[in-house]
Amino acid sequence: MSGNVFAQHEPYANPVWKIKPRSDFDSSSLWHAFKDGLLSGHIRQFSMATVNQQQAPDYYALAIGAGIRYQTAPFHGFQVTMSGYFIQNVVSTNLTATDAATGAVNRYEIGLFDIEHPENKANLDRLEELNISYAHKGLTVTYGKQIVKTAFINPQDGRMRPTEVSGLWTVWQPNQKQLTLEAGWLNRIAPRSTFRWYDVDETMGIYPSGAQTNGQRSDYHHNLSSKGILYTSTAWNASKWLTVQANNHLVENIFQTTLLQADVEWKKKTISWLAAAQYTFQSAVNNGGNADVSKTYFVPGQNVGAISARLGIKKGRLQSSLNFTRIGKGGRFLMPREWGREPFFTFLQRERNEGLGDVTAWMLKNTYKLPKVRTVLDAGIGLYQLPHPTDYLHNKYGMPSYGQLNLSVQHEFNGFLKGLYAELLYAYKWNRLSNNSNTKWIVNKVNMTNLNLMLNYHF
């Protein structure tokens, strides 16, 4: 997303494709546009393991995949892009099994493969990008299958492949990128952890859908009606120290989400001070997707507000921030997990606050770039006060209050191994709900460790 002010600190976040910058070369013939196009590749290895407490089941998986991407050279402003990818399950625990003692099912490792067909280990391939774009004087228009990054629809690089979308997307940057205007209409999505393309309303409920507000199991999957998503965004670099942005995601016939954010950064001697504030508001559109309240996605009458804030400093190679989020009691903050992760400043990988209301969260994060080597150390710790798991009005997935610690090391290789990126992530979550002995609220949710090793090679 051009001019995106919602990005978390991602110093060496491995891009889906490592694309070399292009010159302004514009081919004089269609033949030269294809002949001088750019071919790139991406090999990815993802090892993951989850360790639960006591007799609860543990899991592991090793996935490897590879893909190619081709983009033509510019031809009178036009370019064609296409890419595809395949994945292999090298080894894993039984991802289809249900634990006899707890009824628990795998939550994390299954997402490396096909979440709809976890028994499928080899036939995992997907056409990803297939689009045509036109660029001229700060305006770019793209039509077809593509990758976009908004506050709520984003690649969410935490599994093997990203979420991708299909539709029409426009970005306009007049005034030397001081202002960025974006608009798009999306009618199909290929969520991460899946291997086909779906209409927008079909995607909602591919992942576990939790409980209705009355405690009964949600039944909105395959029961919603929407033509697509209309996205609009304005980002303005008001000054050297202030950036503001407003965007809106309108899911036709279901719900809309508006987000406002301001980021401030000012430097005093050798220290840069950082501050940001964010406000999110959601409401139903029509009947929230279905006239039957037991089959709707967003219950009419619920108006959800959330605020998130950040205060931090940068000094030399160190960046630290204290982050806060408060989701109100008007209902649940809802956004299909199939589409991307939430932009709240208290977000830590391996857990979300989607599906929750009446939440108070604090998170402290530190990032340090080692000198002379391309290595970044990250540490984040958060406390999340949630409503009781039986408060179905505000707790969709039966998640207890929890604390979380994330530690990661990211390294970009050079020399002989140039193009290789590595990341090691350790995540630990602990229970903060007193007298919590219900295994449904513990297994794969709290009192657990999740380990990840990701290797990416781009060429």
- State residue 15's pLDDT score: 58
What are 91's two structure tokens? Answer: 């080894």
The H or E element spanning position 250 is strand 242-251
Note the Cα 175 to chain centre separation in Å: 30
Give the model confidence (pLDDT) of 14-31 as tens digits: 557 766 655 556 767 888
Assess contact for 323 and 310: CB atoms under 8 A: yes
Could you write out the DSSP letters of every residue in 185-204?
A: EEEEEE-TT--S-EEHHHHT
Radius of gyration of the chain, Cα coordinates, nearest whole angstrom: 22
Higher confidence at residue 9 or residue 71?
Answer: 71
Higher confidence at residue 419 or residue 177?
Answer: 419
Q: Which residues pair with 258 in a beta bridge?
A: 248, 281
What are 77's two structure tokens? Answer: 């402003």
Mean pLDDT of all residues in 80-105:
91
Report the alpha-carbon distance of residue 344 to residue 310 in Å, rounded.
10
Report the alpha-carbon distance of residue 329 to residue 319 in Å, rounded.
33
Mean pLDDT of all residues in 310-331:
97
Could you count the other beta carbons within 10 Å of the beta carbon of residue 216?
10
- State residue 18's pLDDT score: 67
Mean pLDDT of all residues in 276-296:
97
Residue 10 pLDDT greater than 80, yes or no? no
Could you write out the DSSP letters of every residue in 64-79?
A: EEEEEEEEPPPBTTEE
Confidence category of residue 440, pLDDT binned at 50, 70, 90: confident
Report the alpha-carbon distance of residue 285 to residue 72 in Å, rounded.
41
What are 331's two structure tokens? Answer: 């209902």
What are 76's two structure tokens? Answer: 């009178």
Cβ neighbours of residue 194 under 8 Å, at least 6 residues apart? 114, 115, 116, 206, 338
This prediction has a pTM of: 0.93
Residue 444 pLDDT greater than 80, yes or no? yes
Mean pLDDT of all residues in 89-101:
89
What are 226's two structure tokens? Answer: 């929407």
Q: Which residues pair with 378 in a beta bridge?
A: 367, 408
Give the model confidence (pLDDT) of 236-262 as tens digits: 999 999 999 999 999 999 999 999 999
List, in sequence order, the alpha helices (H) in 200-341.
Answer: 200-203
- State residue 11's pLDDT score: 46
Residue 213 pLDDT greater than 90, yes or no? yes
Residue 93 pLDDT greater than 60, yes or no? yes
Angle CA 388–351–202, to nearest 5: 95
CA-nearest of 126, 264, 296, 250 to 198 is 126
3-state secondary structure of 60: strand
- State residue 3's pLDDT score: 40
- State residue 176's pLDDT score: 72
Give the model confidence (pLDDT) of 26-47 as tens digits: 767 888 888 889 999 999 999 9
Assess contact for 458 and 39: CB atoms under 8 A: no
Confidence category of residue 4, pLDDT binned at 50, 70, 90: very low
Report the alpha-carbon distance of residue 314 to residue 199 in Å, rounded.
43
List, in sequence order, the alpha helices (H) in 261-389.
Answer: none
CA dist list (Å): 317 to 258, 314, 381, 389: 34, 7, 20, 41
Mean pLDDT of all residues in 324-334:
97
Residue 112 pLDDT greater than 60, yes or no? yes
- State residue 98's pLDDT score: 86
- 19-28, long-range: CB within 8 Å, 24+ apart, which pairs? 19/69, 19/71, 22/73, 22/74, 24/74, 25/73, 25/74, 26/73, 26/74, 26/75, 26/76, 26/77, 27/73, 27/74, 27/75
Q: Which residues pair with 430 in a beta bridge?
A: 403
Confidence category of residue 104, pLDDT binned at 50, 70, 90: confident
Pick left, alpha or beta for residue 156 (phi over 0 → left; psi -120 to 50 → alpha; otherwise beta): left
Mean pLDDT, the chain, rounded, equals 92
Mean pLDDT of all residues in 276-284:
98
Q: How many percent of the chain have pLDDT more than 90?
A: 83
What are 13's two structure tokens? Answer: 């976040």
CA dist list (Å): 363 to 306, 336, 348, 359: 16, 23, 9, 13
Q: Which residues pair with 64 in a beta bridge?
A: 45, 88
Residue 5 pLDDT greater than 60, yes or no? no
Confidence category of residue 6, pLDDT binned at 50, 70, 90: very low
- State residue 414's pLDDT score: 93
- State residue 9's pLDDT score: 43
